[in-house]
Amino acid sequence: MRIGVLTAGGDCPGLNAVIRSVVHRAVDNYGDEVIGFEDGYAGLLEGRYRGLDLNGVSGILARGGTILGSSRLERDRLREACENAADIARDFGIDALIPIGGEGTLTAARMLSDAGLPVVGVPKTIDNDISSTDRTFGFDTAVGVATEAMDRLKTTAESHQRVMVVEVMGRHAGWIALESGMAAGAHGICLPERPFDPGDLVKMVEERFARGKKFAVVCVAEGAHPVEGTMDYGKGEIDLYGHERFQGIGTALAHELERRLGKEAKPVILGHVQRGGTPTAYDRVLATRFGWHAVEAAHRGEFGRMTALRGTDVVMVPLAEAVTELKTVPKYRMDEAESVF
Ligand code: F6P
């Protein structure tokens, strides 16, 4: 069998672990040939690829990013790819394509699969917002980075009697904010799923200071919005990929709290540091398992599906199911963290 693999969308710790696992299982166990397309679907459309053998994936398990490069694909180019799906498979002689990516990549994977390309998807995203898998690799690493950052910020905040507003990633789903906020013991958590009232945060900080606590940490997801009319914060325009441009909620909220409290409030934007660097052990294991199962599925001819974690098992689910809705933070998870909202 000749298997093509690509990584698309925002990068994520664990991508290299999947690539390595695919190559090991396919080459070692089945004697397959594996080729890696460069820079996501762009490499597929432009015919940029290279052979991947055991030596080529040696030493990459613990490395962040992706050795293949990644990119996002504009809708028009995706349509072009779908129209040429059969030619693509024939031109590259591939019997299976394994795209590793988030919601956008898997939507594209589904379209390519519907157009006739033999596709087995592997979900990835630090946001953990893909509905049909309990977890995506990369999330554990991102939560760890954000938690450590808040642990560190607490000691400096306390020394200077400051409020720290820590902005973490999460456009529509606040999983990183929820779990890192809980793990770090943040005093306030703001999620995209539930508009927040800055007045509640002001009250929380004032109560803390009244109890002799001289600092506070608020964890805010980049996609969080204030309740309408509670503070000056607009909606961003829509970018090329259909995403709302962020307006910088961390900075806006820190300024708002400083103004209302008369105390120093500093924004800390964690940004892409959450996605960089070495994956945690958990993410390496999950990524490795996903790679193994993707190759197995390809050999069973189970196309149009993707790997998913259900409990502790890796199963195959239809790509269609994976991209119908985003997995957002449910109310019961917010209730569990209520004391810090
Ligand atoms: O989807 C993963 C993610 O890291 C989001 O949390 C974030 O909003 C987005 O990607 C950032 O993308 P970019 O790399 O284009 O800045």
227 forms beta bridges with: none
User: How confident is the model at residue 78, as a pLDDT?
Assistant: 76
CA of 125 to the centre of ligand 1 (A): 9
Nearest to 18 by CA among 128, 138, 198: 138
User: How confident is the model at residue 132, as a pLDDT?
Assistant: 92
CA of 233 to the centre of ligand 1 (A): 21
Residues 39, 174: Cα–Cα separation, whole Å: 28
User: How confident is the model at residue 240, as a pLDDT?
Assistant: 67
- How far is Cα of residue 88 from the mean position of the Cα atoms in its chain? 28
Instruction: Write out pLDDT tens, residues 2-24.
Output: 999 999 999 999 999 999 999 99
| Class (C level, CATH) for 140-275 | alpha beta
> Whose C-alpha lies nearest to ligand 1, atom 3?
10
Mark whether 28 is an active-site residue.
Answer: no
User: How confident is the model at residue 86, as a pLDDT?
Assistant: 78
Instruction: Write out pLDDT tens, residues 306-322.
Output: 999 999 999 999 998 88
Identify the band that residue 197 occupies on the pLDDT scale cut at 50, 70 and 90.
Answer: very high
Ligand 1 neighbours (beta carbon < 6 A) = 10, 102, 125-127, 169-171, 222, 275
Identify the band that residue 276 occupies on the pLDDT scale cut at 50, 70 and 90.
Answer: very high
Beta strands in 111-240 (DSSP E): 120-123, 163-168, 188-190, 216-221
User: How confident is the model at residue 83, as a pLDDT?
Assistant: 80
| Atom number in ligand 1 closest to CA 169 | 6
Tokens of 272: 């892409």
> Whose C-alpha lies nearest to ligand 1, atom 14?
10
Residues 182, 221: Cα–Cα separation, whole Å: 13
Beta strands in 149-264 (DSSP E): 163-168, 188-190, 216-221
Location of each CATH 3.40.50.450 domain in the chain: 2-138+279-322
Identify the band that residue 226 occupies on the pLDDT scale cut at 50, 70 and 90.
Answer: very high
| Atom number in ligand 1 closest to CA 129 | 1
> Whose C-alpha lies nearest to ligand 1, atom 15?
10
Instruction: Write out pLDDT tens, residues 171-186.
Output: 999 999 999 999 999 9
**For residue 73, is pLDDT > 90?**
no
3-state secondary structure of 169: coil
Q: Could you report how far apart the first and last alpha carbons of the chain are, in Å? A: 52
Which helix (H) or strand (E) element contains residue 98?
strand 96-101
- The answer to whether 127 is a known ligand-binding residue is yes
Residues 269, 341: Cα–Cα separation, whole Å: 20
Question: What's the whole-model pTM score?
Answer: 0.95
220 forms beta bridges with: 167, 190
Nearest to 65 by CA among 120, 7, 25: 7
- The answer to whether 171 is a known ligand-binding residue is yes
Catalytic position from the list 11, 127, 129, 140? 127
- The answer to whether 104 is a known ligand-binding residue is yes
User: How confident is the model at residue 6, as a pLDDT?
Assistant: 97
**For residue 241, is pLDDT > 70?**
no
Residues 235, 263: Cα–Cα separation, whole Å: 27
Q: Which fold has domain 2-138+279-322?
A: Rossmann fold (3.40.50)
| Atom number in ligand 1 closest to CA 72 | 15
65-81 burial: b if 16+ Cβ within 10 Å, else e = bbbbbbebbeeeebeeb
Angle between helices 75-83 and 103-114 (to 10 degrees): 30
Location of each CATH 3.40.50.460 domain in the chain: 140-275
- The answer to whether 305 is a known ligand-binding residue is no
Is-contact 110 320, C-beta < 8 A? Answer: yes
CA of 73 to the centre of ligand 1 (A): 14
Phi, psi (degrees; rounded to nearest 5) at 317:
-125, 155
Tally of helices (H runs) and strands (E runs) in the chain: 13, 11
